[in-house]
Structure 1
């Protein structure tokens, strides 16, 4: 017998849950707590299933019957009402929950858990702030290429072509993450690749001839400004030619001065792979002297302003400026180009050994392992030869 509103209002809870049917599979279930929930029993593909419609009296008897009729229509069309309801819920979530800003924040959090370099994450956060200001509250599935292009054009209008290119790439990472987590189906940034102005490639300024490099190292070893961290870091940049961030952020625990090896953790290398550097005797001497100055700190190169922070790349570049090398002549990152050019020019060393020492690796995993094992002895000899070459450039009056 069909239910009535009068009957529904008088349903009282019992010790165990019980049901009252309305017909056509629709029934109300009364819990011992007093809650009254609408359900519909049906069969699909030979399986018994249940569909939920909500609680009475929020969902009225009339509305429950409407929902039953809608479910019957779907069944007649060969559609599972439960699957249809889940799809509609997902669509609503895409509009209300899966916004660009939320997914971007989730991606950043994922990369932090993966221990990506904090400097890289900060750059991405800075770029994503531009995007979220424009369309952060929009459902990610509703964002079009035209919407993304607008903030890109704003950045371009200021002449920041490289930033615009990186912004497009970073926004694309968010969309690809959304696709991978089943919250989007396409990446609109793909179609914008040809829309942006191609930035002119500019290499880091570097001295790449022996005469100029000799002037540079003599200036570094004669430099009396800055903190002990800065002076030591500049000498070690010349000797070891690592990426500035790899050296600046180094911790004392990474250096094995007895074995003359520096192990740079994967989280701080560009390739996200642990990289070991042989330390020539002069580098060990510099580090031992520095340890007397900064050894009480876990950082090898702490800032003189904030001891819990490292020296900045700007500190190193400013020191170079004070020595008379402007930004078009040499930068802290330029030591890598100096070493690469001069080591290759010498003709003494296998090009792959030089690449291995620079921390450059190819795409083939087997070749990487082969490089590490085969070229270590050559890299040690190369580090000592490079140190000898630097010593020969220094004036006999300069104390090293």
Structure 2
């Protein structure tokens, strides 16, 4: 028999410690205990007997108890335990936000970038995040971050005089937030709102020797430099290939075909994100073959002196130049690119388009299209050999042609 409201109102507790049970059918029953009347439902889930509390009579009427019991049976048919806690949408969003922090998002983004960036770059980015970003916005939900939050981060960096780093960290925060948009953690990247909020970074050219007689002095100093074979080899190779310093120090042996006299730098390591081919002169090959006997068993051509799992420090070449007496206002590791660009054009008369190709600059053909990585490769190989031979002549003291002073920005 099913229960009625009249019957329920008249029920009184019999005094049994466990209470009195009155069934309404379909697993629903009323438990009368002391002065209260409790709605209960018995069911089985995952092989276990369970009881679901549905409220107290008369706050929950007979009709409401039957409706709640019917809802619970629907959940059971769907494979859901009706006793599972019910979280309202607001609380669910709050919990999700508490997990989707800037720190969690940044680490996800770093993991995504791992395959396309060098270990040294990843470590540098992580150091920036841990030192300058996470302590201030790392625990904040990504969806709650406002422009002023990021501004506070970068202004702290700017305040200590690191203007360039402040801009880089702002850019880094933007990359992380855009990843958040892509995976649905946030609605937008707020960093464009900070345009003009930081001190502009003054543009400076990399110091470079562009006078042949001065370059001859530098080349002799390099060949007389006494140190470990790794930095010495890097110093000797730098003017021969004039790639960007980061591309040289992160070079891996798998990128080199010494028999084919070529170095293929993957797109992920290049500033323009395009694969780059570097023809190797006989002088460059001799340096590399000697070095391979020392570091060829490892990943990096120029490994760190502390651990073979990392490449040479970004300061190694510049530190060596300072040690040889060349101040940072005179010559830098990056400056070898401007050296090659200027002298190859104005002294050796090499084709400017070939030089630009070899500097990995964007070169447009007559139809407005960018040339690919292999464009004019034989001609570039011949040019690189002439350049290496010219450097040898300078170093041993052959006659050189003086060069007028050159102004303007150097290769980037």
TM over 0.5: yes
Contact 2:222 2:236 in 1 (8 A): yes
Aligned positions, number: 354
Distance 2:295 2:374 in 1: 33
Q: Deviations over 1:53-103 (max 9, x none)?
A: 9517x67xxxxxxx9xxxxxxxxxxxxxxxxx6x64663244322211111
Root-mean-square deviation over aligned CA pairs: 3.7
Q: Deviations over 1:294-333 (max 9, x none)?
A: 4454533344454554432322222211211012211222
Distance 2:63 2:351 in 1: 85
The match for 2:406 is none
User: Which of 192, 195, 213 does residue 194 from structure 2 map onto?
Assistant: 192
Give the TM-score taking structure 2 as reference length: 0.74
Distance 1:95 1:119 in 2: 32
The match for 1:393 is 394
Unaligned runs of 5+ in 1: 30-35, 42-49, 60-66, 68-84
Distance 2:242 2:159 in 1: 36
Matched, 1:376 2:371: no
Contact 1:255 1:263 in 2 (8 A): yes
Q: Deviations over 1:158-179 (max 9, x none)?
A: 1111111111111111221111
Compute the displacement of 1:280 (Å).
0.8
Compute the displacement of 1:226 (Å).
0.9
Contact 2:147 2:190 in 1 (8 A): yes
Matched, 1:146 2:177: no
**Residues 90, 339 of structure 1: CA spacing in aligned structure 2 closer, same or farther, 3 A cutoff?**
farther
Contact 1:155 1:164 in 2 (8 A): yes
Question: In structure 2, the residue corresponding to 1:372 is in which secondary structure?
Answer: coil
Contact 2:276 2:373 in 1 (8 A): no
Distance 2:133 2:39 in 1: 52
The match for 1:133 is 135
Contact 2:252 2:299 in 1 (8 A): yes
Unaligned runs of 5+ in 2: 3-23, 32-37, 55-61, 399-412
User: Which of 61, 76, 83 does residue 55 from structure 1 map onto?
Assistant: 83
Distance 2:174 2:324 in 1: 42
The match for 1:11 is 42
Matched, 1:253 2:254: yes
Distance 2:39 2:363 in 1: 72
The match for 2:407 is none
Compute the displacement of 1:279 (Å).
0.5
The match for 1:46 is none
Distance 2:119 2:66 in 1: 57
Give the TM-score taking structure 1 as reference length: 0.76
Distance 1:185 1:166 in 2: 22
Compute the displacement of 1:264 (Å).
2.1
**Residues 205, 38 of structure 1: CA spacing in aligned structure 2 closer, same or farther, 3 A cutoff?**
farther
**Residues 143, 335 of structure 1: CA spacing in aligned structure 2 closer, same or farther, 3 A cutoff?**
same
The match for 1:270 is 271
Contact 2:157 2:163 in 1 (8 A): yes
Structure 1 segment 1-400 matched on structure 2, within 5 A:
6=31, 9=40, 11-13=42-44, 26-28=67-69, 37=72, 54-55=82-83, 88=90, 91-112=93-114, 114-129=115-130, 130-223=132-225, 225-346=226-347, 348-361=349-362, 367-368=369-370, 370-395=371-396
| Greater fraction of residues in helix | 1
Compute the displacement of 1:132 (Å).
1.6
Contact 1:353 1:371 in 2 (8 A): no
Distance 1:185 1:303 in 2: 42
Distance 2:327 2:305 in 1: 24
